[in-house]
Chains A and B, each alone.
Chain A
Amino acid sequence: MSHQTPLGTSVPHTSCLDLWREKNDQLVRQAKVAQDSGLSLRRQQLAQDALEGFRGLLHSLRGLPAAVPVLPLELTVTCNFITLKASLAQGFTEDQAQDIQQGLERGVPQTRSTFVTFGLLQKEKSRDEVPTSAVCLSSTVLETQKKLGPRLECGLRGLWDSVLHYSTLLLEVLPALHHLAGLQAAIWLSTDCLGDLTFLLQTLNGNQSEASENLLLLLKTWSPPAEESDVPLTLQDARGLRDILLTASAYRQGLQELITGSLPRALSSLQEAASGLCSRPVLVQVYTALGTCLRKMGNPQRALLYLAAALKGGSTCGPPLLEASRLYRQLGNTAAELESLELLVEALNVTHSFEAPQLLIEVELLLPRPHPASPLHCGTQSQAKYLLASRCLQVGRAEDAAEHYLDLLALVLDGSESKFFPPPSPPGPCMPEVFLEAAAALIQAGRAQDALTVCEELLSRTSSLLPKMPQLREDARKGTKESPHCPSWVSATYLLQGQAWVQLGAPKEAISEFSRCLELLFRTTPKDEEQGPASNGEKECISDVALQQLRAAALISRGLQWVTIGQDTKALQDFLLSVQMCPGYQDASFHLLQTLRRMDRRHEATALWWRLKAQTELPQENAAWSLPLYLETYLDWIHSPDRETLLEEFQTSLPEPPDL
């Protein structure tokens, strides 16, 4: 109260100040009661009421001209208000930044004028210097206030600079100001304004470590002044906030470094985060990230230790299980990999109990929004199921794969009761492809009839979207150049249906399906991609290369069926076409060679043999493109089994090698 006289401003009556302070303390206690009451509705209401109370209190406090004796209380109420608001909304918004700005703007003139008064009283000779600097400051503050509308951040930075610069003389304001600075740091951390954050921390540390740009170091050096016992109550004290900030920024930094690939630094940052103060779910995340980091650094055993620790940690065991499956895959331990995936599916089946968040600023609030590309993204149960099914198919466990695919389809197609959702299309395959993979797995597992059912289901569900078959035939008869666009997965469905018939031993049906497939495939021209966004928006799930392969596969399949029913001429035609279609694809050539040999067309066979021999001597160009899984599986089926022996046999049967 010693500044009352020199200031000459109207300071409210002491009892009024006490009243407000009492109100603040009561609201803080109410929020803590809300925190502890488990009943979610009552808790929500209590917390909401407390928030409104703080808002009203702040309103009353701001109704008076700002004065130094009231300032600590006002800043504390602002801090409590922001803390409660952010924790209720589970995130920071621009509102909070504005709240801070308003608090500062009220603080600035006060701290400045007090400072001026101080200066005048303390040193007579400094009379000439202080007012000029004060005038400069006031003009800059006014300018910043004018500019604040659009460029809030820049202005906030300036405000902080001036406030902290002048408030070092006002000891009673300092704790509350540091608390507010902590909240500002939280906002800047959560919005990734690291430049501003570094600047703020440097200013808070008194610029003594100006050279240091290291955020973690700055946070560690920052020690908010200890709160005395007689200050107004706070929901969260500045030191606690500092610890939260330290953990959150260490984790953020570690995750960032993990994604960008600077692994040793990521490891140290993450270890810093793991040693900090955080809740169990966050600890699970940190341990999982550590596991990922160590796996990438080539330390699978240490990674496993961390993952085990993460699994012990708590209810959210999705990410560590997914990470474990990646680890086992890297180690080549297929059984363990599939087992962890199965566990992952189980784990994701459990609904998370709706846990009420704390009414404090927590580490979770300051973490970036999980991105699908993040190593910690584990998706939903159906996504995990899909991963499991496709891995089974890839490693050759066809039976398991078929079962998992059928489970997955049941899961996503089951109408209203379905609790979990299909894989979102960008990272995974689109829904029709999942059906196709299921059909392929069923065929692989020898369940051709089931595969046919799956294919029919797919076609019937999308029938309204497809051009009608009679219409297609009509078009073909009329010979119109323009033909309706048909997605490639429709052709692929016919292809798989044909293969199912092959397995069932019905070559006629198979040939008819393959013909339908080819008919559609040769209509599908890539020019359809120019369709605007207003069209059905279904982007083609398949690349040009895959389309070529699909055509070749269909031709070869039909050729093989012609062979089966003894129509070698037609088979030859198809094999020739497929070789033309896809010259780099050797299986077609081998099938052609075999047919030519069987038909005893030696000249052509010899020419083809030479060509093939030259090709095999060349370094086999690896298929860099990724084919859809169902197509890969399909190509395995029509792979000619013993190429080498065929070549050998042919060579011996040749009369004499022509001289070069």
Chain B
Amino acid sequence: PSGALLSAVWLLLGLAGAWGRQVLAAGEGRSLAAPRLDSFPAQVWQLELSAVPGLLYVLCARRGIYCLSPDPKSDGSDRDSEDGELPCALISVDPDACLLPDAALCTFTVVADKLVTLAQGPAHWKVQLFECPRPGEDARPRGQVGEVELSISSPLTGPLGEPTAPRFLPVLRCVSPAGPSTLLSRVQGSGGFLLERALFGLLFGVDASLLESPVILCGLPDGQLCCVVLKTLVTSKLSPGDPKALVKILHHLEEPVVFIGAVKTGSSAQDVGDTHPDCLVALGHDGRVLTIKAGCDEAGTLVPALREYRLPGPVLCAACGGGGRVYHSTTSELCVVDLAQGGVPSGDLGDPPSLLCPAGLGVCSVVTLSVLSEVPEGTRGLLALSTRGRLMTCRLQLSSEVSGPTRAAAASTGQKIKDLLSGIGTVSERLSSLRKAVEQRNKALTCLNEAMNVSCILLSGREGPKPISCTVTTAWSRPQLQDVLTATFWLENSSGLCLDRGWTLCVQVLTSASASDSDMASAATTYTIPVDRLGPGDRREVTLPLGPGEDGVLHLPLTVSCALHYSLREVMGGARAPSESSKDSSDECCPDVLPEQDGISLPLCEHTVDVLWCLRFPGLAPAHTQAPGLLGPLCDPVDTFLGSFLGPRSEPTGPASLRAKFLPPSVATIKVSAELLRAALGDHHSGTSLDCAALQWLLAENAALDVVRARQLSSVQGVAPDGADVHLTVREVAMTDLGAAGPLQTVEIQVQSSSPASLCGTHHAVIGRLQVMVVEQAARIPGPPDLRVQCLQQTYSSHETLLREVQTLRDRLCTEDEATLHATAQRLLQVHRQLRSPSLLLV
């Protein structure tokens, strides 16, 4: 029966929240046969019932609109009266019932025989107008009759190109002008409302009111409130609507619009007979309320009067009903506020919105609200659905209704005081949180200022030592069974500034790739050490292990670079925290605003740690301290092997002599012109001979420097990191055959080691330093001394031949078999030895 159906309309509207996949329609307190609907394929977002053809429209999330005929089949097969429950009829949801399959649909409304939908596009909202199916007709779209796009400021697509799930759904309502010709039921039955003609004409124009056209109001999640006059929504494939002509933006609420409605404020009640709403209301999610009424300016011309108010948010849902009352639900309370009362402060648009004080009704967590139409006189009925799925009817006695200043009885005074007190509590809480936020922000600014100052002094390209410096020394230690090379960093702050929280010392250790696998990227390890407050004049010591790594090999040279890093996240995080905590937890403020590496990075120094840093000199150590890390005589398997080779008859000998017997030491020499070296060393060698000074210069970063300097040594016997002995000798020699004008004074640096690898490493390190020195000195030294070119040419040509031989030998190494391999390797070693003598000469 249509009467019962009509009364179910309101219940269905009340349920039209995002409740679930099953929809139950229940009678309004009467024992009405309630049809139960089958499961929908997805969450139900919206329900509308068009009364005249008797069809139920259901919007399913990401599926589209289903159209069902809610006439319960009276076969009685599904009746279940044994449990005493209401008899239910099942309406099946056929996939064919899908009227508009469109995943982008977000909301819709039914206006007379038209279906208005709002779909989300990648860069706009699209309002589409369809003809409704007639009852009895097959549920199929009868063709689109209108379309217009609403542009928005920010794109709606997410990073993956798929439309992001809307956090807030838009709101679509239909407004009709009140008039004698307008049928009330026609408008209300489809979720629309009437508006007094003067306001209607003012808002939507003369054309709309002349045509008495319904107007579609859209409240978008970005805060826009816009309207489209339905009768102007032209369409055909050849002429879609021009958004500029069709869409009018009424206001921008600056927060997601959750509700649009109309109330009767009665303030302009010259004509008492007009009972139509005269005030358009829009509610934002965070509690902003917009009211639009028709007002007169000083000349008497009708103008729309816009006012903004604030309600405590967040607003989950709202409903208008009975006079100027607006019911709205927050997470904690269902409130009512009466906009018709004179007590509503009148502020102009542009003034800060004044706060409305709603009265609580003592119901919480209501997600959908509907005002009941058919209730006994003197009361007001609300139908509410809670988040947990509880359907409630609330009856409010009009006499005891709150917020009536004329009825300020003693009973309500107590309530009022309570409300005021709780209001004060809220305000003070808010104040303290705001104060905290300001403090944190100030602190962050101070930190940033200091960071800025530090950056300035470090980056100003001044000569000389930097006010904040980092020095590095290396040492061997043996924390466990293995020898470990450790580096000690001294961070010294000689500036007047203070390095506070947020600064970290970043040390990057870059292992040079070994020659064998040059494709492999060199491995870098980064250590970050927080600098927890380094005041002016303070020093901080940091010790880090450099190697050997997991493979037990120390890959030299290592590049160690130090930098100071200031993390902006640290500072910003402190300032951001309070605002985040004030929002509810579901409001995820994306934590990845700052990328991981964002901050200020200031390079301090860079060193190359080579073999010369790591040589150990057991012979130089003071007698009482055994140099740590010297391998025991039986550690090296080669020595053990060689020892066994000698046989048990021979007297035991040291490893050095063993090696000397079997592996003749390799030797490499480099000659540097004394003049060059003297210039480079400058005043460092004053007081000592040149050879001693050169050795000290080479071992400048070594821990044994002090001993070498104290004893004025010009030759040292050391141990390389891999345990091989290294002999480093520096002596002055005169080269007679080269100089064109007499003998050339040179300093010879001789590296001698039984292990070719250590020899190469040390040789490479020495050459590396000399190279740097030569490059530095090249500008200062007037020019090379006269040399005998013929001699040089001779050396050069012999080296050419040798290099060619090396090439052929290496090629042969790849192809040859085991038998001849040994001979070739021997020959290669020999050639290399020949290549090294005569030695490299730097002048």
Interface residue ranges, A against B (CB under 8 Å): 40-41, 44-45, 48, 93-95, 98-99, 281, 316, 318-319, 351-354, 369-372, 376-380, 412-413, 415-416, 418-419, 421-422, 424-426, 430-432, 435, 458, 461-462, 464-465, 467, 471, 475, 482-485, 487, 528, 531, 534-538
B298 in contact with A482 (CB, 8 Å): yes
Nearest-Cβ distance from residue B155 to partner chain A, whole angstroms: 8
Which B residues lie at the A interface, using CB under 8 A? Answer: 95-96, 98, 101, 103, 112-113, 121-123, 140-145, 155, 157, 161-162, 181, 186, 196-198, 200-203, 205-207, 209-212, 231-234, 236-240, 242, 245-246, 248, 298-304, 306, 349
Q: How far, in whole Å, are A421 and B145 apart by their CA atoms in the complex?
A: 11
Docked Cα-Cα span, A19 to B312, in Å, equals 58
Query: CA separation between A648 and B306, bound complex, in Å?
Result: 64
> Chain A residues near B201 (CB, 8 Å)?
462, 464-465, 536
* Contacting pair A41 B238 (CB below 8 A): no
Does B112 contact A416, Cβ atoms closer than 8 Å? yes
A461 adjacent to B212 (CB under 8 Å): yes
Are B242 and A422 closer than 8 Å at their CB atoms? no
With A and B bound together, what is the CA distance between A370 and B235 in angstroms? 11
Question: Once the chains bind, are B300 and A376 in contact (CB under 8 Å)?
Answer: no
B238 touches A354 (CB 8 A): no
The 8 closest A-B pairs by CB, nearest first: A464-B197, A484-B300, A482-B299, A354-B143, A465-B201, A431-B207, A485-B301, A416-B112
CA of A226 to CA of B220, assembled, Å: 49
Contacts of A461 in B (CB 8 A): 209-210, 212
A99–B161 CA distance with the chains assembled, in angstroms: 8
| B494 nearest CB across to chain A (Å) | 40
Contact across chains for A421 and B240 when beta carbons are under 8 A apart: no
Give the chain B neighbours of A531 by CB distance below 8 A: 303
Q: Are A536 and B239 in contact (CB under 8 A)?
A: no
Could you tell me if B161 and A95 are in contact, using CB atoms closer than 8 angstroms? Answer: yes
Can you spell out 28 A-B residue pairs with CB atoms less than 8 angstroms apart? A44-B101, A95-B157, A95-B162, A316-B237, A352-B143, A370-B239, A377-B239, A412-B211, A412-B231, A413-B211, A413-B212, A416-B113, A418-B231, A422-B211, A422-B231, A425-B245, A430-B207, A431-B206, A461-B210, A462-B201, A465-B201, A465-B302, A471-B300, A482-B300, A483-B299, A536-B201, A536-B205, A536-B304
Q: Name the residue of chain A whose CB is nearest to the CB of B113.
A: A416
Q: Are A93 and B122 in contact (CB under 8 A)?
A: yes
The residue from B98, B198, B234, B242 contacting A380, defined by CB atoms under 8 A apart: B234
- B143 to A538, Cβ gap below 8 A? no
B303 & A536 in contact (Cβ 8 Å cutoff): yes
Instruction: Decide: A426 and B245 in contact? CB cutoff 8 A.
Output: yes
Closest to B233 in A: A421
Name the CB-closest residue of B to A369. B240
Contact of B302 among A48, A369, A371, A536 (CB under 8 A): A536
- A94 with B206: CB separation less than 8 A: no
A379-B157 in contact (CB<8A) = no
Measured in the bound complex, the distance between the Cα atoms of B144 and A48 in whole Å is 19
A432 lies within 8 A of B143 (CB): no
Known: A40-B140, A380-B239. A464 touches B232 (CB 8 A): no
Q: Which of B196, B205, B210, B248 has most chain A Cβ within 10 Å? A: B210
B123 touches A94 (CB 8 A): yes
Cα distance, A432 to B201, chains bound together (Å): 13
Q: Which residue on A lies nearest to B196, using beta carbons? A: A464
Known: A353-B143, A536-B303. 20 other contacts (CB 8 A): A93-B121, A94-B122, A316-B237, A318-B238, A352-B237, A354-B142, A378-B239, A412-B211, A412-B231, A424-B232, A424-B245, A424-B246, A425-B207, A426-B245, A435-B210, A465-B209, A467-B300, A482-B299, A528-B301, A535-B301
A535 touches B211 (CB 8 A): no
A487-B206 contact given A41-B96, A41-B101, CB 8 Å threshold: yes
Flag if B299 contacts A484 (CB, 8 Å). Answer: yes
Given the interface pairs A93-B123, A431-B210, A484-B300, the reply to whether A538 lies near B205 with Cβ below 8 Å is yes
Residues of A contacting B245 with CB < 8 Å?
A: 424-426
Is there an interface contact between A485 and B242, defined as CB atoms closer than 8 Å?
no
If the complex has contacts A95-B161, A430-B206, A482-B299, are A464 and B198 also in contact, measured as CB distance less than 8 A?
Answer: yes
Complex: A464 Cα to B233 Cα, angstroms? 24
User: In the complex, what residues of B have CB within 8 A of residue A377's CB?
Assistant: 238-239
Whole-angstrom distance between the Cβ of A426 and the nearest chain B Cβ? 5
CB contacts (< 8 Å) of A380 on chain B: these are 234, 236, 239
Q: Which of B103, B211, B246 has the most CB of A within 10 A?
A: B211
A596, chain B: closest CB distance, angstroms: 40
Chain B residues whose C-beta falls within 8 Å of the C-beta of A370 in the assembled complex? 238-240
Task: Please name all residues of chain B whose beta carbon is closer than 8 Å to the beta carbon of A378 when the two chains form the complex.
Answer: 238-239
Choose from A45, A435, A471 the contact partner of B101 (Cβ within 8 Å): A45
Chain B residues contacting A475 (CB-CB under 8 Å) are 300
CB-CB under 8 A from B143, the residues of chain A are: 351-354
Residues of B within 8 A of A535 (CB): 202, 301, 303-304
Residues of A contacting B142 with CB < 8 Å? 354
Cβ A421 vs Cβ B300 within 8 A: no
User: In the assembled complex, how far is the CB of residue B175 from the closest CB belonging to chain A, in whole angstroms?
Assistant: 15
The one of B161, B211, B299 in contact with A431, judged by C-beta atoms closer than 8 angstroms, is: B211
CB proximity of A420 to chain B, nearest CB, Å? 8
Q: Which residues of A contact B300 (CB under 8 A)?
A: 467, 471, 475, 482-484
Give the nearest-CB partner of A354 in chain B: B143
CA distance A369 to B186 in the complex (A): 35
In the complex, the answer to whether A354 meets B211 with C-beta atoms within 8 Å is: no
Contacts of A319 in B (CB 8 A): 238
Say whether A415 contacts B236, CB under 8 Å.
no
- Identify A415's interface contact among B162, B206, B212, B232, CB under 8 A: B212
B238: A residues at CB distance < 8 A: 316, 318-319, 370, 376-378
Please measure, in the bound complex, the distance between the C-alpha atom of A467 and the C-alpha atom of B301, giving whole angstroms: 7
Chain A residues in 8 Å Cβ range of B304 = 534-536
- How many angstroms from the CA of A93 to the CA of B123 in the assembled complex? 9
**Would you call B205 and A432 a contact (CB within 8 A)?**
no
> Bound state CA distance, A435 and B141, in angstroms?
35
Enumerate chain B residues within 8 angstroms of A413, measured Cβ to Cβ. Answer: 211-212
A464 to chain B: which residues have CB within 8 Å?
196-198, 200-201, 209
Determine how close the nearest CB of chain A comes to the CB of B531; give it in whole angstroms: 32
Tell me, rounded to whole Å, the shortest Cβ–Cβ distance linking B63 to chain A.
10
Chain B residues contacting A415 (CB-CB under 8 Å) are 181, 212
Write out the residue numbers on chain A whose beta carbons fall within 8 Å of the beta carbon of B246.
424
Q: How far is the CA of A318 from the CA of B235 in the complex (A)?
A: 13
Smallest beta-carbon distance A545→chain B, Å? 22
B95: chain A residues at CB < 8 Å are 45
A369: B residues at CB distance < 8 A: 240
Closest partner residue, chain B, to A319 (CB atom): B238
Residue of B nearest to A435 (CB): B210
What are the residues of chain A within 8 A of B202 when measuring CB–CB? 465, 535-536
- Residues of A with C-beta under 8 A to B206: 430-432, 462, 465, 487, 536, 538
Nearest B residue to A482 via CB reads: B299
Chain A CB within 10 A, most for which of B121, B161, B246: B161
A418 to B143, CA, bound (A): 15
Within the assembled complex, what's the spacing in Å between the Cα atoms of A351 and B349? 46
With contacts A354-B143, A415-B181, A475-B300 known, is A537 near B205, CB below 8 A? yes
With a cutoff of 8 Å between Cβ atoms, the chain A residues found around residue B186 in the complex are 416
Closest to A484 in B: B300
Q: Are B231 and A379 in contact (CB-based, < 8 A)?
A: no
Assembly CA distance A529 to B230 (angstroms): 27
Which residues of chain B have C-beta atoms less than 8 A from A372's C-beta? 239, 242
Contact of B242 among A351, A416, A424, A431 (CB under 8 A): A424
Cα–Cα distance between A40 and B139 once the two chains are bound (Å): 11
- Given A94-B122, A536-B205 in contact, is the A432-B181 Cβ separation under 8 Å? no
Closest Cβ neighbor of A318 among chain B residues:
B238
**B-chain residues with CB within 8 Å of residue A424 when the two chains form the complex:** 232, 234, 242, 245-246
The answer for the CA separation of A435 and B207 in the assembled complex, in Å, is 11
Residue of B nearest to A430 (CB): B207
In the complex, residue of chain B having the shortest beta-carbon distance to the beta carbon of A487: B206
Return chain A residues, CB-CB under 8 Å to B233: 421
Closest to A383 in B: B234
